[in-house]
Amino acid sequence: MLAIPRQLARLPGWTALVLWTAAVLLPLYILVVSCFKTTAEIYDNRLGLPQSFAFDNFVAAWTRADLGQNFINSLIVTGGAVILTIIVSAMAAYPLSRYRLGWNGIMLGLFLSGIMLPIRLASVELFTLMRNLGLLDSLIGLILVYSAIRIPFAVFIFANFMSVLPSELDEAARMDGAGEARILFQIVLPMVKPAISIVAIFTAIAVWNDFFFPLIFIFDDRYKTVPLAISVFVGQFRTDWGLVFASLAISMAPILIMYCLLARQIREGVGSGGGAK
Amino acid sequence: MIARRRKSSLQRTQQRMAVLFIVPALAVYALFVLYPLLMSLWGSFFVWRGLRMLEFAGLSNFTRLFVFPSGGRLYGALWHNVAWFFGIMLFQNGLGLLLAWLLFLRAKGAAFFQSVFFFPAVLSPVIVGALWRLLLAPGGTIEWMLNGLGLHQGSLTVLGNSHTALVMLIAVDAWNWMGLPVLIYTAGLRQISSQIFEAARLDGAGSGRMLVSVALPLLMPAVGTLTTLSFINTFNQFDIVYVMQGVQGNPSYSTDTLVTYFYRLAFGAEGAVGITDIGLALALGTLLFLILSIGTLVMLRFFDRRTVQL
């Protein structure tokens, strides 16, 4: 008898949770089914499944709108920025967290101050710098800028993870005659794999999604990244809704796959640090 | 003696290796973040012609920023950012606390709901903005649904109406980031000892009372983190406005933000002729930098004092 009021009391709570779930999933559902519809079909049949699962819109987005090239560019920039950020940040974090230098604190502080810096406000001077270095309209330029922006967060994460490893670890290796580079890459780095995955995940998301810097630095269609291309499509193919929906689906596919595989790590990473942006 | 010499030689090696190891990261970071930022702050005190820095101008860029014709734009954009911040605090972080509390009370399914709620946060704001622009467009699916439910009639023009457009953008931003407060609050709630909730329950506190009087004071670090993050993100708001309303913050600048205004000044889409005004842009950048730095410091101190120690 007591169980019923208790279940009933929980009903408003469940309703709220289910409502927000619907608010999240319904737009995404509409996005997915609309990819397979023509514009006329989108108007006639808003929420239903498409008449056929034709890939016309995907093909049109990939070839006619040239999203394929944008996709490859985004992969290169994201991959390059993730690798460069991980290597240089792990290298910097190793002495800062494990040597007694006397200036560890100041140097760490200099890096950490970058986590909060509003770098967009420096975009005028950054533009001049990139132009002088010949890095406008260049994927390498984007990789360098993104790495620079993500280094503070990565150094912070690596230093945190490395500082709690036992000091016997590198001392023993040093006794055996291992060089410092070998200690870092073959002994310390394999022990901070969770840090590597946190840095890789959040750098990849931030870089894949960014729109501001390609907007400023990329003018040539051949070097545009996916978010920049999407922002153009929305206006350009305004009447061809199926194509726009399909290009949105293509651009979120890599993130969706990564999210399904790594949802737990992402949840825990954000819950503990809030370092998603 | 030998041990000491070995130790100092180790320290010398370490100093040398440390410099070698830190230089690549420091060089990239200093060149592409610190240098442009410092130059931008410095440059805001100079007269500019195009991208060329001319003579020292004192505070004249700043005084120009606050008077006609820039003053109206500045106050408009500033007000939109402030409204955006409070909107996010209420819709996103307020509703997020409620959802986190509901998940905390339920043993099952929390991970599933958390994953669903956070998913939009890993999407590009460009995708989110484009998706909602299509859904909210006249003739779009939201219009169709509201008409079908009898809640609205005719064409839905919320994005074209200067009274509703900003509210819609704030709601889309909240939809985008709702998962963040949910994850941070649930993590915070799980760190609170269950004995505290048990004691409150024995004292006869209901669920709502327990959230407000027991959990919330203990969640102050999480509230502080979220308030600071929301403040920083709100005052950097650009992508959603650009994709949904264009760089002018249409209609008639009613969704203009400080960064969209900055972008127009710096990269030439302001005014009828669309020329750049670098001096004004850098002054706005410096002002925004001050707002963000001072705001962040004040918030961190404010929440630090209100952290309850047990």
Same domain, B211 and B292: yes
For residue A206, the tally of other CB atoms under 10 A from its CB is: 21
Tell me the shortest Cα–Cα distance from B58 to chain A, in angstroms: 19
Q: Is residue B310 part of a domain?
A: no
Which residue, among B83, B258, B252, has the nearest Cα to B161 in the 3D structure? B252
Strand partners, B56: B46
CA distance B284 to B281: 5
Looking at the structure, do residues B243 and B177 belong to the same domain, yes or no? Answer: yes
Task: Give a yes or no: residue B36 inside a domain.
Answer: yes
Specify whether B158 is located in the same domain as B52: no
A240 has a pLDDT exceeding 90 = no
From chain A, pick out residues whose CB is under 8 angstroms from the CB of B259.
120
The answer to whether B176 touches B117, Cβ cutoff 8 Å, is no
Q: Do B77 and B8 fall into the same domain?
A: no
pLDDT at B309: 59
Task: Among A11, A20, A43, pick the best mutation site for testing chain B contact (most B Cβ within 10 A).
Answer: A20
Angle between helices A241-273 and A67-98 (to 10 degrees): 10
Do B37 and B132 reside in the same domain of the chain? no
Residue B131 and residue B223 in one domain = yes
Same domain (yes/no): B10, B44: yes
pLDDT band at A274 (very low <50, low <70, confident <90, very high): very low
What is the pLDDT at residue A37? 86
- Does A122 contact B39 at a Cβ distance shorter than 8 Å? yes
In this structure, whether the domain defined by A65-165+195-236 belongs to CATH 1.10.3720.10 is answered with yes
Q: For residues B210 and B125, state if they share a domain.
A: yes
Residues B220, B199, single domain; the answer is: yes
In a domain, B169, yes or no: yes
What's the average model confidence in pLDDT over B225-242? 93
Mean pLDDT of chain A: 88
Number of domains composing chain B: 2
pLDDT value of position A190? 93
Q: What is the ipTM of this complex?
A: 0.89
**Please, which pLDDT band fits residue A242 given cuts at 50, 70 and 90?**
confident
Cβ–Cβ < 8 Å for A239, A39:
yes
Looking at every residue in chain B, the average pLDDT score rounds to 89
* Nearest CA-CA partner of B52 in B247, B282, B259: B282
- Together in a domain, B295 and B162: yes
Region B249-277 average pLDDT: 83
Degrees, nearest 5: CA angle B256-B257-B262: 105
A124 closest CB neighbour out of B24, B282, B292: B282
User: What does the alpha-carbon distance between residue B78 and residue B290 come to, in Å, rounded to a whole number?
Assistant: 13
Report pLDDT for A7.
66
CB contact under 8 A, A271 and B116: no
Report whether pLDDT(B56) > 60.
Answer: yes
> Over 90: is that where the pLDDT of B150 sits?
no
Region A242-261: mean pLDDT is 90
Residues of chain A with pLDDT > 70: what percent? Answer: 95
- Expressed as residue numbers, the domain containing B48 is 2-62
A173-218 pLDDT per residue, tens:
888 888 888 999 999 999 999 999 999 999 999 999 999 999 999 9
Q: How far does the CA of residue A91 sit from the closest CA of chain B (Å)?
A: 5
Inter-chain touch B135–A27, beta carbons under 8 Å: yes
Whether A212 contacts B243, CB under 8 Å: no
Cα distance between residue A198 and residue B44, in whole Å: 37
Residue A233 CA to residue A219 CA, distance in Å, equals 15
Q: Using N-to-C axis directions, what is the helix angle for B179-191 and B165-177, rounded to 10°?
A: 50
- The 10s digit of each residue's pLDDT in A47-85 is 888 887 778 888 888 887 788 999 999 999 999 999 999
Same domain, B138 and B278: yes
So what's the pLDDT on residue B310? Answer: 55
- Asked, for residue B244, whether it belongs to a domain, the answer is yes
**In this complex, do B18 and A101 lie within 8 Å of one another by their Cβ atoms?**
yes
B-chain residues within 8 Å CB-CB of A99?
A: 14-15, 17-18
Q: Is the pLDDT of residue B231 over 80?
A: yes
Same domain, B147 and B287: yes
Which CATH number fits the domain that encloses residue B190?
A: 1.10.3720.10
